[in-house]
Structure 1
Amino acid sequence: MPRIKVLHVITRLQAGAGGNTLLSAQGMDPGRYEVWIAGVPGGDLWERARAAGVRTAEIPGFRHTLTPADLLVLWRLVRLVRRERFTVVHTHSAKGGFLGRIAARLCHTPVVVHTIHGLSFHPYQSRPRRTLYRCLERATRRFTHRFLAVAPRVAEQAVAERLAPPGRVHVVPSAVDLAHIPERFDPLARRVLGVPRDTALVGTVGRLDAQKAPLDFVRMAAALQAGRPDTAFVMIGDGPLRDDVRRLAAELDVQVVLTGDRADADWLVAGLDAFVITSLYEGLGRALTEALAAARPVVATAVNGVPDLVEHGATGLLVAPADPDGAARAVTWLLDHPREAAEMGRQGRRRVRATFAPQTMCAAVDACYRDLLGLPPP
């Protein structure tokens, strides 16, 4: 039997959606599937995909924002899908989902799957932009045979917003590469960051952009340090708000170490006493999942799919978005109650390692493809 050709379409192979896509592509049985990824080239994940034997197709001009150049991107996708005659086109996130599903429709692709990593519109956008993205998502839902959502709340939101019909949305948690994540605190990671063992270390991982609200992390750090001056702070990642983060930290007189992007971010997290995300919106939170896998006590904003991952008081603490003082109080509680914090970390580790293994996700994706193609289970 010839291998099933699958094309993943994503704007850029980075961050949470990119990591999910790469694990999906790598984890499928190479004897059964020939897997491709189409997107803008560049970055560590793109090179890892190529090194792992995943076929890659470069789509120049593929960006997150809508531009007139998208017509050229669509033409390139159509040409690729038509030439390679993929059996499955699997799209990811808003822009990749919109253009990828149109291309698949124009080429009469037998199976079209779309993964919802999070909603493309949110209250922090202007109303015209929010309306536009909602309309585009709704317009392409009829081109889709199956929707996969990374968390139950994300699935519920997609149905409520009429982005997907209820019977066609399946929840498939976004996996993380557990083999490279320590299962417990690692003091060596602290030494790499230059933090003494007797200093509390609070950190985050993520792109320094509006979604992740890095300025709220700085405000949280300043509020926390006022009561606990023996605390150090680290932000792992880079992005357009890097200079704003530096300026605000100087203005508030709080020292925050900015490491930039680090390939070993998942390991460095194992050296934290508390992990914090201040995101305004978040499908699930890949870095959050990795922190829980490393048994780190976490504080996270209760947005979108995050409460599906963090059970308040059991696997971490939830706070409202845009409330840095509330986040500071939650982190202070964790640092003041190390025994309870450690137990939350252990509970989080058990939950993530039981649910978010790549093999589990890939088995669910394989079952999805087989079901839509009318193939029996292996």
Structure 2
Amino acid sequence: MRNGTLAPAVRRPRPHVTSWPASPRRVVPAAVLPTAPAPSRIKVLHVITRLQAGAGGNTLLCATGMDPGRYDVWIAGAPGGELWAAARDAGLHTVELPGLKHTLGPADALVLWHLVRLVRRERFTVVHTHSAKGGFLGRVAARVCRTPVVVHTFHGLSFHPYQSRTRRVLYRWLERSTRRLAHHYLAVAPRVAQEAVSERLAPPGRVRVVPSAVDLGHIPAQFDPPARRVLGVPRATALVGTVGRIDAQKAPLDFVRMAAALRADHPGTAFVMVGDGPLAAEVRRLAADLGVEVILTGHRPDASWLVSGLDIYVGTSLYEGLGRALTEALACARPAVATAVNGVPDLVEHGATGLLTAPADPEGAARAVGWLLDHPAAAAEMGRRGRARVRAAFGPHAMCAAVDACYRDLLGLPLPPPGR
């Protein structure tokens, strides 16, 4: 204040924030220039318990979809599984860790030692872990070796109400004990991210949703008659099916019970299960006891194509991060009924992209399937909406771009130019 009047405000210069400048265009064609040195690549190690099923397929798509000019990608996990050959064929470095199994045991000390040796020898810039067991061992090895960037993906919670109390306590401890050992977390669905924070498996504000991708290039966009002929069911017969490993998680016996309940009102319906697993013999016995015929195809490498031959897809899982087979079914516009577990309601919106039922409720699933059979126009519209949702947001390009953005952010690197 000067002489009783307010002094004019001092205008301070505002800080000037700019992005990293774009590279200038070459003044000479690259063909006539001397050879430039190859740029250094960022070494990334994915650690996963088992390279199979939904989490394994998601990890493989993530690894193969990254820019090979920028990233040198490795995968380490338990021996066995149908995806190791595909990983090697794609040019990835693969390390099968002897002694690594799904559950904790004394051999894991040796597995951790092998992992520490690998990370220390190869000097990875990024260690990206998956699943509870692989996530625990991978994050501990990364901390021991002082890896600059550690990322963990939640493909679904590793503990659930259908496990024994001992296993639930063990897996919750595994996840919580390493929650501070990752710099950032990814989740395959919003509800999976919410559950991870609510269960204190990840710090608040450190989880980014990256939808689990499927390879849309191998999935028809609609019903495919050749797939139906391979399944051996006439087109005039309603075909209800499921795809996946026949194990406790997928609750295949509930699918058989659903089929038996549905036959009471829809006796002409046929049923098929694409896949194999430890409960296949029990499925056959229960189907015989209930007097319902269920076609079991066994393991099929073309399962993502065969799903396009179904009239209705049914998922009876007791727990599921998102559901790879379910995503593939929606991608080819198949009307779907699925259990409302974990991230599934983020994909199947009741009455819009499919119908939801409670887990362990085969009668409820039968009623939902019967409703779709009785309302074919509404079922077809749900299939079309499901296809639009999946094909807009669940392609490998979108997933890999999001993972690349996460790595770049943690490493302080600029984003690529638009359109690249």
> How does the TM-score come out when normalised to structure 2?
0.89
Partner SS, residue 233 of structure 1? strand
Output the CA distance in 2 between the equivalents of 1:31 and 1:17.
25
Residue 355 in structure 1 maps to residue 411 in structure 2: no
Deviates more, 1:234-243 or 1:170-179: 234-243
Residue 237 in structure 1 maps to residue 275 in structure 2: yes
Structure 1 residue 5: Cα displacement: 0.2
Output the CA distance in 2 between the equivalents of 1:373 and 1:102.
20
| Larger Rg over CA atoms | 2
Output the CA distance in 1 between the equivalents of 2:213 and 2:155.
12
Output the CA distance in 1 between the equivalents of 2:46 and 2:239.
38
Structure 1 residue 46: Cα displacement: 1.2
Gaps (5+ residues) in structure 2?
Answer: 1-38
8 Å contact 2:51–2:81 — kept in the other structure?
yes
Please point out which of 141, 161, 165 is paired with 1:103: 141
Q: 1:156-191, CA deviations, whole angstroms, 9 ceiling, x for partnerless residues?
A: 000000000111100000000000000000111111
Output the CA distance in 2 between the equivalents of 1:46 and 1:217.
30
Structure 1 residue 201: Cα displacement: 0.5
Please point out which of 154, 159, 164 is paired with 1:121: 159
Deviates more, 1:65-74 or 1:137-146: 65-74
Gaps (5+ residues) in structure 1?
Answer: none
Partner SS, residue 35 of structure 1? strand
Structure 1 residue 128: Cα displacement: 2.0
Aligned residues: 378
Partner SS, residue 179 of structure 2? helix
| Structure 1 counterpart of 2:51, one-letter code | L
Partner SS, residue 211 of structure 1? helix
Q: 1:204-261, CA deviations, whole angstroms, 9 ceiling, x for partnerless residues?
A: 0111111110000000011111221211111111111111111111110111111111
8 Å contact 2:79–2:100 — kept in the other structure?
no
Residue 296 in structure 1 maps to residue 364 in structure 2: no
1:177 aligned partner: 215
| Structure 2 counterpart of 1:250, one-letter code | A
Q: 1:259-291, CA deviations, whole angstroms, 9 ceiling, x for partnerless residues?
A: 111110010000000000001111100100000
Partner SS, residue 123 of structure 1? coil
2:344 aligned partner: 306
Output the CA distance in 1 between the equivalents of 2:82 and 2:292.
31
Structure 1 residue 120: Cα displacement: 0.6
Runs (4+) of structure 1 moved beyond 2 Å? 40-44
Q: 1:353-378, CA deviations, whole angstroms, 9 ceiling, x for partnerless residues?
A: 00001000000000000111111112
Map residues 30-179 of structure 1 onto 2, 5 A cutoff: 30-179=68-217
| Structure 2 counterpart of 1:353, one-letter code | R
1:368 aligned partner: 406
Partner SS, residue 5 of structure 1? strand
Output the CA distance in 2 between the equivalents of 1:362 and 1:64.
27
Q: Which has the higher helix share?
A: 1
| Structure 2 counterpart of 1:181, one-letter code | I
Q: 1:284-329, CA deviations, whole angstroms, 9 ceiling, x for partnerless residues?
A: 0010000000100000000110000000000000000010000001
Output the CA distance in 2 between the equivalents of 1:362 and 1:69.
34
Output the CA distance in 2 between the equivalents of 1:298 and 1:106.
46
Partner SS, residue 142 of structure 1? coil
Structure 1 residue 6: Cα displacement: 0.2
Map residues 251-290 of structure 1 onto 2, 5 A cutoff: 251-290=289-328
| Structure 1 counterpart of 2:327, one-letter code | T
2:370 aligned partner: 332
Output the CA distance in 1 between the equivalents of 2:348 and 2:101.
31
Task: Return the structure number with greater relative CO, CA threshold 8 A, min gap 6.
Answer: 1
**What is the percent sequence identity of the aligned residues?**
80
Output the CA distance in 2 between the equivalents of 1:207 and 1:101.
28
CA RMSD in angstroms, aligned pairs only: 0.8
| Structure 2 counterpart of 1:117, one-letter code | H
Deviates more, 1:195-204 or 1:125-134: 125-134
8 Å contact 2:222–2:332 — kept in the other structure?
yes
Structure 1 residue 43: Cα displacement: 3.4
